[in-house]
Amino acid sequence: MWKSGKRAIHYLHNLNAAAANVPASLIENGQKRVIDASLTLIRERAKLKGELVRALGGAVASTSLLGVPLGHNSSFLQGPAFAPPRIREAIWCGSTNSTTEVGKELNDPRVLTDVGDVPVQEIRDCGIDDDRLMAIISDSVKLVMEEDPLRPLVLGGDHSISFPVVRAVSEKLGGPVDILHLDAHPDIYHCFEGNKYSHASSFARIMEGGYARRLLQVGIRSITKEGRDQGNKFGVEQYEMRTFSRDRHALENLKLGDGVKGVYISLDIDCLDPAFAPGVSHIEPGGLSFRDVLNIIHNLQGDVVGADVVEFNPQRDTVDGMTAMVAAKLVRELTSKISK
């Protein structure tokens, strides 16, 4: 049996006894108001940023950050829920300049804007289940995309957020995308620990939904028989670290997105060797170097229509915030790939 967010603790659920005589319509109407308010905030912020970018002119595509501070679908630690503000802080901390490696200026709103966070905890505290929460995340992404030329770069959060984000991108563009997925794990279990929205099952939901034509998984070094079987079932191209030296040339010269609606990049911080990024929930030695990842991203040929950076866990980071800076640098370089 599928269970959603089995570790979730909702404020209203703790008041079952007190709320036993409360009309269901009262709760439902209250939940609807919270959902409407959440989407209104994203809509209005995206509208403002879109109007600004269009008024300035000259942007074909412009990256817009959207935070999704969700951690309850993690199978181990839930610290990724605290990541979005730490990543933003690192982006603008002042220890480095605001220019990306390829010369994009982050202070230019035509390159990067920010529409804030989906208020995940506030929504869940109203007793809203994961089916509706995932729909709210998808709707939030679509609101960003409605404001042409904005394109979403989503800050997680655990990897469960990739499903509603990719779903939204695919539905909004009217067809499947090609996905470049960098991760230590394939995250393609059918239903990990009974949770269909587990961070370990996000790409099973994506492939079942037909939201991706090609799925390339790079950096894999923790994979079970089910992970391989599911990969074969969905025709996933899995590149394991044990063969990276052989695969390097091909991975650093990828061409994706022809014949579909574009390319989506999903970047789990644990794709990196923990020497470069210790602040993750699942420490898995033997991963990619930081420059390996940047080479793959920089050299990718294709129209990047959206991306996410997930699974940074600030609760496991070093005192000086090393992994936060790594995540921020990845966001900066992904911005360079999206904005044009």
Residues 235, 227: Cα–Cα separation, whole Å: 12
Q: pLDDT tens digit string along 262-297?
A: 999 999 999 999 999 999 999 999 999 999 999 999
How is residue 174 written in tokens?
A: 């009217």
Please check if 183 is assigned to a binding site: yes
AA identity, residue 144? V
How is residue 140 written in tokens?
A: 């939030």
pTM summary value: 0.94
Please check if 273 is assigned to a binding site: no
- Which residues make beta-bridge pairs with 309? 155, 267
Quote the pLDDT of residue 4: 43
- Residue 186: DSSP 8-state: -
Which domains are assigned to the chain? 25-338 (3.40.800.10)
Residues 116, 67: Cα–Cα separation, whole Å: 6
CA angle 36/38/39 to nearest 5° reads 65
Residues 158, 24: Cα–Cα separation, whole Å: 31
Q: Which residue has the tokens 């790079």?
A: 218
- Give me the residues of the chain with pLDDT under 70, please: 1-20
Please check if 258 is assigned to a binding site: no
Residues 289, 286: Cα–Cα separation, whole Å: 9
Quote the pLDDT of residue 22: 82
Neighbours of 6 (CB within 10 A): 12
How is residue 300 written in tokens?
A: 């990718």
Please check if 181 is assigned to a binding site: no
Q: Using an 8 Å Cβ cutoff, are 219 and 261 in contact?
A: no
AA identity, residue 320? D
**Sign of the C-alpha dihedral, residues 234, 161, 327, 320?**
negative
Please check if 249 is assigned to a binding site: no
How is residue 18 written in tokens?
A: 């007190």
Strand 150-156 versus strand 177-182 pairing type? unpaired
Quote the pLDDT of residue 336: 97
Residue 8 backbone dihedrals phi, psi, to 5 degrees: -65, 140
Q: Tell me how far CA of residue 96 lies from CA of 34, 99, 269, in angstroms.
A: 38, 9, 20
Helix (H) or strand (E) holding 248: helix 244-251
Residues 75, 201: Cα–Cα separation, whole Å: 11
How is residue 126 written in tokens?
A: 């109203």
Residues 76, 340: Cα–Cα separation, whole Å: 38
Residues 166, 211: Cα–Cα separation, whole Å: 7
- Which residues make beta-bridge pairs with 154? 66, 308
Give 314-320 contacts, CB < 8 A, sequence gap 24+: 314/79, 314/82, 314/83, 314/86, 314/279, 315/77, 315/79, 315/82, 315/279, 316/77, 316/79, 316/278, 316/279, 316/280, 316/281, 316/283, 317/86, 317/278, 317/279, 318/278, 318/279
Residues in the chain, overall count: 340
Write a three-state SS string for 13-51. HHHCCCCCCCCHHHHHHHHHHHHHHHHHHHHHHHHHHHH
Closest CA to 324 of 47, 79, 143, 39: 79
